Amino acid sequence: MTAPPLIHKRVQRLMGNRFELSVVSPDPCWANQRLDAAVAEISRIERLLTTYSDDSQTNQINAHAGIRPIQVGPEVFALIERSLRLSALTQGAFDITYGSLDKRLWNFDTTMTALPDPKTARRMVQLINYRNVVLDADQRTVFLREKGMRIGFGGIGKGYAAEQAKRVLRESGVESGIVNAAGDLTTWGTQPTGKAWTIGIADPNRANHQAFSYLAISNMAVATSGSYEKYALIDGRRYAHTIDPKTGYPVSGLKSVTIIAPNAELADALATPVMVMGVRVGLDLINQMRHIACIIIDDTDTLYTSTNIRIKTPATV
């Protein structure tokens, strides 16, 4: 008798985040071999993009900022090209040169007791400008014009890794699954029951991230950026971890932005800039994009959605 298909899961810390990978198969051994390959793929991408290793391609680019171009692999070059297009589309609300703003200015991992020095913030912000990233497609080189500039893939890397893990799984025969990269997730196929996957959107007012709404999706990706994830309490005011690249200070007014898109890289890359842009400008951008949807919750708990979303119980796109 043929065994029924089940969901096989792997939870692992990768790229500094909690990844959860799920595949549907009747064979647990076969499923675990595929999960091993997907984890290996995410680890490979982490080595390419990390800023915690001196010899990563990212750090080589940063180390030679203002000095000379660095030749990189086609994968990193293409990811930077796409990042720069998103930077232009969002008028710098998404900017891969945000790397000059690091833990020396804002450290949301420890208890901050005072706001950062405004002069230091202004100096660091001056180095953020995606227009100063020079690409040479023929030589496949990347050059940062200003010394001290740094690029980083914190706003797009998890989504990219999730999509690449999905690609590896699908190429090896996995017909249904989810790759969840700390809330940036991509889905394909269906649950063992044949129904679409049910994705919960975290309630920003609940510490345990209990869902306030659900989406039934397949072959789509979801990413959420929220002020509740990491923040500092200074003089009784909460400062969230999403930084406006133009000011160097945290954005305010929004608790949560959820993007629904065809792939996790795009969903991941759009969540932060919509947080920076705010309700009106952010929704205006999303409403002009095909096959992209957005759910926003502001600080007064008012819910806003793009024009292509119908809220029901559960919510559906």
Rg (the chain; Cα; Å): 20
* Side chain identity at residue 23, one-letter code: V
Where residue 297 falls (left for φ over 0; alpha for ψ -120 to 50; beta otherwise) is beta
Indicate the burial class of 227 (C-beta count within 10 angstroms; 0-12, 13-18, 19 or more).
buried
CA distances (Å), 296 to each of 90, 151, 260, 263, 279, in order?
Answer: 17, 28, 12, 19, 7
Q: Which residue has the tokens 């008798």?
A: 1
Rounded (to 5) percent helix, strand, coil in the chain: 30, 25, 40
Closest CA to 104 of 96, 112, 95, 93: 112
268 is in an annotated binding site: yes
Cis preceding-peptide flag for 118 (omega within 30 of 0): no
Q: Which residue has the tokens 């929004």?
A: 254
138 is in an annotated binding site: no
Binding residue ranges for Mg(2+): 155, 268, 272
Binding residue ranges: 155, 268, 272
